Amino acid sequence: MSSQFKIHDDVWGALQIFAITIQKDGTWEKEWEPLRTQETIADLLSVISWEAYQELRHRYTKPFLQEVGLGPDACLIKLGEDIGSCFYQQGCPSYDPNLCSANLDPPSCYDANIDPPKVRFLTTRLVDLWRIGFHVILVKPENT
């Protein structure tokens, strides 16, 4: 089950974490599983060891910081124009290419430009999490 929390690091300040667990068979949590095969998106998520995650939960950030990859802002930038632009850009009276993209600061009506709808919903949720500063991570199963 995914979890979210905030901790403080003396160097990095407040770290907001949204963790998705990887099952022993390699699948992700049921809710997030549709994104596993979407390489453009899955490659943006840092895979963190169970041990580093447990240390992080106990406010010891060093192992996590050694394993984490891109930060939230970098994930938004790398999302790319194809997925980054808004799904509803055609026919939207408010569409502005200088605003309605994930790598900018999209309005709350933004939806990621990807199909199928479940993947669009989850990708849009990731964009929302990254936009407010969450590190979205994948946590390896224990003893792997």
Residue 75 lies in a domain: yes
Whether 4 and 133 have beta carbons less than 8 Å apart is answered as no
Provide, rounded to the nearest whole percent, the portion of the chain with pLDDT above 90.
68
Which residues span the domain enclosing 13? 3-82+126-139
Rounded to a whole number of angstroms, the distance between the first and last alpha carbons of the chain is 18
Q: Where are the alpha helices (DSSP H) in the chain?
A: 39-42, 50-57, 62-67, 72-78, 81-84, 117-131
Q: Can you give the length of the chain in residues?
A: 144
What pLDDT score does 64 carry?
Answer: 95
Each residue's pLDDT tens digit, 91-137:
899 898 888 888 877 888 899 999 999 999 999 999 999 999 999 99
Residue 70 lies in a domain: yes
Helix (H) or strand (E) holding 17: strand 13-21
Residue 87 lies in a domain: no
Residue 57 lies in a domain: yes
pLDDT mean over 1-5: 88
What pLDDT score does 105 carry?
Answer: 78
